[in-house]
C-alpha cells in the first residue's frame, strides 16, 4: 500500500488494533517536526524528527508507548504491583516508576548493581516517583530475571497480584506501542504532506524496532525503515526481531508485506559496543544540540542519529528523499553521563 489511504480503509487487523486495551499514559501524537538547519548543514532536502522524547510521562521516551499496552494488560488482569528490572540508569525502570505513580500501582525495581552512594539521573527520578528499589549486586541479566521471578512468586503467596515486565519491555505486547507509532506517523505524514521515504529507528533489544517495522509492514511499506543497532551485531539483532515479529503476527495477524522487506539492519555505527560513545555519535549529539536545540544521550539516540547522518552522507539514503529520525528519549539517564 503506497497510495494515500486513510486508516479506515486499511486491513481489519489495523482497525481492530484501535480496540486493544491501553493504560491512560502519555500525550499523543508526539510532534513530527522538520530539522531545517541540520538538513542544510548535511545537504539533505527533507529531514524530520519524530519527538518521542516528549511523550508526557516522566522524562519522556519510547518506553511510554510500550507501557501503555503492558500496563493496560496489567490493569485488565487486576494486578496491583508492577516489577521490572534493569541497570541503575534504566529508562524502562524510570518510566515504569512514573507510570505506576500515575496509575496508583506499587512499583518494585530490581537492579543488577550495588546501591549507589549518590542518586543521580534516573535513580533520583525513581525515588521521586516512589518506586521501591532492590539492589542485587553485580549479577548477570539471567540471575536478575530469576530474582524477579522469585519475588513475583513471593508476592503472589502474600496475596498481592504482581505483573512482571521482562526483557526491557521487548515483548510482543510491549512492541505494540511502536506498531501504534508507525500508524501515528503515517497519519501525520498525510496531514502535514510529508512525502516520507526513510525512517531511522534504534535497534537494541528489539521492542521498538520490531513494533515500528511490523506497523510499517501492516501499512504496506509506505517508507523504508533503517534499524540502527546500538547493542548487537546484525545477526543477533535480526534473530531477536524475527522472534518478536512472530509474536506480533499472533496478536495482529499477518502483514500484507513481509516485515523483512521494509527494513535494513545496520551495525556500522555500533562502535566498540553498547553504551560506548563513538566519534560519529559525539558529532551527531553536538550537531543536533547546536543546530536544532535537540538533546540526545550517549547510549541510544546519538548513535541512531549518527546512523541517519552517516547513511545520508554515504548515499544509502538519498539526499532527495524525505527522512525521519525517531527520537526515543532517555533524558533521565543523560544526567548520569559524561
Question: Per residue in 258-310, pLDDT tens?
Answer: 999 999 999 999 999 999 999 999 999 999 999 999 999 999 999 999 999 99
Active-site hit among 8, 13, 66, 90:
90
CA distance 129 to 76: 23
Surface-to-core class of residue 37, CB atoms within 10 Å of its CB (0-12 exposed, 13-18 middle, 19+ buried): middle
Checking if the pLDDT of 216 tops 90, the result is: yes
DSSP secondary structure code for residue 169 in this structure:
G
The mean pLDDT of the chain is 95
CA distance 183 to 180: 5
Residue 319 grid cell = 539526499
CA distance 70 to 148: 17
Rg of the chain's alpha carbons, rounded to an integer? 19
Q: Which residues contact 142 (CB under 8 A, 6 or more apart)?
A: none
Tell me whether the omega of the peptide bond preceding residue 29 falls within 30 degrees of 0, making it cis: yes
Q: What are phi and psi of 326, to 5 degrees?
A: -85, 110
Confidence of residue 6 (pLDDT cuts 50, 70, 90): low
DSSP per position, 69-125: HHHHHHHHTT--EEEEEE-TT-HHHHHHHHHHHHHT-EEEEEESSPPPSS--THHHH
Known catalytic residue: 281?
no
Domains defined along the chain, listed by start: 7-60+171-334 (3.40.50.1100), 63-169 (3.40.50.1100)
Checking if the pLDDT of 10 tops 90, the result is: no
Amino acid at each position: 500500500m503506497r497510495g494515500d489511504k486513510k486508516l479506515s480503509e486499511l486491513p481489519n487487523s489495523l482497525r481492530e488494533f484501535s480496540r486493544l486495551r491501553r493504560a491512560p499514559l502519555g500525550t499523543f501524537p508526539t510532534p513530527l517536526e522538520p530539522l531545517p538547519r541540520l538538513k542544510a548543514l548535511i545537504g539533505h532536502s527533507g529531514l524530520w524528527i519524530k519527538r518521542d522524547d516528549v511523550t508526557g510521562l516522566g522524562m519522556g521516551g519510547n518506553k511510554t508507548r510500550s507501557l501503555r499496552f503492558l500496563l493496560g494488560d496489567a490493569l485488565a488482569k487486576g494486578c496491583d504491583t508492577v516489577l521490572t528490572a534493569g541497570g541503575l540508569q534504566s529508562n524502562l525502570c524510570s518510566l515504569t516508576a512514573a507510570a505506576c505513580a500515575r496509575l496508583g500501582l506499587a512499583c518494585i525495581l530490581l537492579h543488577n548493581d550495588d546501591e549507589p552512594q549518590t542518586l543521580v539521573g534516573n535513580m533520583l527520578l525513581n525515588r521521586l516517583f516512589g518506586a521501591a528499589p532492590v539492589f542485587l549486586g553485580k549479577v548477570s541479566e539471567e540471575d536478575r530475571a530469576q530474582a524477579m521471578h522469585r519475588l513475583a512468586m513471593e508476592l503472589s503467596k502474600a496475596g498481592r497480584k504482581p505483573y512482571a515486565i521482562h526483557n526491557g519491555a521487548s515483548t510482543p505486547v510491549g512492541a505494540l506501542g511502536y506498531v501504534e507509532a508507525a500508524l501515528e506517523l503515517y497519519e501525520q505524514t498525510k496531514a502535514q504532506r510529508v512525502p516520507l521515504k526513510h525512517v531511522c529507528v534504534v535497534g537494541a533489544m528489539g521492542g521498538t524496532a520490531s513494533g515500528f517495522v511490523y506497523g510499517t509492514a501492516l501499512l504496506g511499506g509506505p517508507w523504508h525503515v533503517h534499524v540502527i543497532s546500538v547493542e548487537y551485531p546484525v545477526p543477533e539483532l535480526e534473530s531477536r526481531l524475527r522472534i518478536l515479529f512472530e509474536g506480533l503476527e499472533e496478536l495482529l495477524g499477518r502483514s500484507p508485506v513481509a516485515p523483512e522487506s521494509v527494513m535494513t539492519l545496520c551495525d556500522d555505527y555500533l562502535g566498540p559496543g553498547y553504551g560506548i560513545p563513538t566519534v560519529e555519535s559525539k558529532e551527531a549529539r553536538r550537531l543536533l544540540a547546536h543546530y536544532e536545540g535537540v538533546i540526545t544521550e550517549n547510549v541510544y539516540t546519538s548513535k541512531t542519529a549518527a546512523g541517519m547522518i552517516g547513511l545520508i552522507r554515504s548515499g544509502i539514503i538519498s539526499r532527495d528523499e524525505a527522512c525521519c529520525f525517531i527520537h526515543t528519549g532517555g533524558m533521565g539517564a543523560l544526567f548520569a553521563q559524561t
